[in-house]
């Protein structure tokens, strides 16, 4: 038994391991106890709390809402124990785990991560889309998520860290490339490289072009700002991205009048505020 084990309540720690695997056999093996013993621990914990912690869906085990909340609390407790032990032995600051998309990591928060790293902070990254990033935060797998478009829900804290105009990206030789600005109507008849159906950026773009009565064609569907721009550079079609995205030689970005700015939010659960504060400070608006 190590120092971390002594600082964590045994039933809570056991449930945290079970919640991670959603499997009694695997969790019991990791905890070095029998499967019946683990069943008893979790059953007693649920009875003491007066809630159901998991349920069966066919052969699968899924956590209830209360189980999800307790799993996040268990992970917080484990991390706080680890952080305390590091501080006790004068080790480095706790690792900061960030969930974000590739574009946000590269063009929105890349410099902030670099500055934090130069100050000795270790950073772990989870590459995830909006839904997966928010799930990583609410489940306790990530300390901080970076998401675009709409602000996250009330179950987490959040602040806006950036906003960028949307731009039309096309080759230097295209007639629209010489414009200082284009309107939605100017996209009539264009072949566009767009994200797959269902992605937030695609939904917003579809709605805006439909409302403006603009007819256009799908040239290709790919996920990620970098791939959208790459295919535009290959001449597959024009694309619409946010203004922070870097462009290769031969492409031009023209601001689009009529599309809203794309906003980025940093979001975290209140118990992790102290852990994420130094990164928030890099955006100039941390409190």
pLDDT digit string, tens, across residues 167-182: 999 999 999 999 999 9
**Domain 3-78 belongs to what topology?**
Arc Repressor Mutant, subunit A (1.10.10)
pLDDT at 202 exceeding the cut of 60: yes
Q: What confidence tier does 141 reach under pLDDT thresholds 50, 70, 90? A: confident
The CATH homologous superfamily for domain 96-163+263-282 is Periplasmic binding protein-like II (3.40.190.10)
The residue among 98, 174, 172, 89 whose CA lies nearest residue 134 is 98
Q: For the chain, where do the domains classified as CATH 3.40.190.290 start and end?
A: 166-260
State whether CATH 3.40.190.290 applies to domain 166-260.
yes
Rg (CA), the chain: 23
The residue among 143, 152, 253, 266 whose CA lies nearest residue 200 is 152
| Residue-averaged pLDDT of the chain | 88
pLDDT at 268 exceeding the cut of 90: yes
Helices (H), 119-243: 130-138, 200-211, 225-233
Measure CA of the first residue to CA of the last residue in the chain; give whole Å: 39
Sequence-separated contacts (24+) of 207-216 with Cβ below 8 Å: 208/184, 208/258, 208/259, 209/184, 212/184, 212/185, 212/258, 213/185, 214/184, 214/185, 214/187, 214/188, 215/188, 215/189, 216/187, 216/188, 216/189, 216/190, 216/191, 216/192
pLDDT in tens, 143-158: 999 999 888 887 789 9
pLDDT in tens, 222-250: 999 999 999 999 999 999 999 999 999 99
Degrees (nearest 5) of the Cα angle 139, 142, 146? 110
Cβ neighbourhood burial of 24 (10 Å; 0-12, 13-18, 19+): middle
Tokens coding 233: 């550079």
- Cα(87)–Cα(230) distance, rounded to whole angstroms? 45
Q: For the chain, where do the domains classified as CATH 1.10.10.10 start and end?
A: 3-78
With a threshold of 0.75, does the pTM exceed it? Answer: no
pLDDT in tens, 86-132: 666 655 667 899 999 999 999 999 999 999 888 888 899 999 999 99
- Cα(139)–Cα(80) distance, rounded to whole angstroms? 15
Where is 73: in which H helix or E strand? Answer: helix 65-88
Are the CB atoms for 227 and 273 separated by under 8 Å?
no
Q: For the chain, where do the domains classified as CATH 3.40.190.10 start and end?
A: 96-163+263-282
């Amino acid at each position: 038994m190590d120092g971390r084990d002594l600082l964590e309540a045994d039933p809570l720690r056991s449930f945290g391991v079970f919640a991670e695997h959603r499997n009694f056999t695997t969790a019991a093996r990791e905890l070095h106890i029998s499967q019946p013993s683990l069943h008893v621990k979790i059953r007693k914990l649920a009875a003491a709390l007066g809630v159901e912690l998991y349920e069966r869906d066919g052969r699968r085990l899924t956590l209830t809402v209360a189980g999800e909340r307790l799993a996040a609390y268990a992970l917080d407790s484990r991390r706080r124990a680890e952080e305390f032990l590091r501080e006790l032995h004068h080790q480095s600051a706790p690792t900061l785990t960030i969930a974000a998309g590739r574009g946000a990591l590269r063009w929105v928060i890349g410099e902030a991560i670099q500055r934090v790293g130069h100050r000795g902070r270790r950073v772990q990254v989870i590459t995830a889309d909006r839904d997966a990033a928010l799930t990583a935060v609410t489940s306790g797998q990530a300390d901080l998520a970076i998401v675009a478009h709409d602000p996250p829900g009330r179950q987490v804290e959040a602040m806006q860290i950036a906003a960028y105009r949307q731009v039309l990206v096309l080759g230097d030789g295209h007639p629209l490339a010489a414009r200082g600005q284009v309107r939605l109507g100017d996209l009539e008849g264009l072949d566009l490289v767009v994200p797959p159906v269902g992605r937030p950026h695609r939904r917003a773009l579809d709605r805006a072009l439909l409302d403006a009565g603009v007819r256009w064609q799908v040239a290709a569907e790919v996920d990620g700002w970098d791939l959208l721009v790459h295919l535009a550079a290959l001449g597959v079609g024009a694309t619409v991205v946010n203004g922070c995205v870097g462009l290769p030689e031969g492409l031009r970005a023209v601001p689009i009048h009529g599309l809203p700015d794309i906003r980025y939010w940093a979001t975290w659960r209140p118990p992790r505020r102290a852990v994420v504060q130094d990164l928030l400070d890099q955006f100039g608006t941390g409190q």
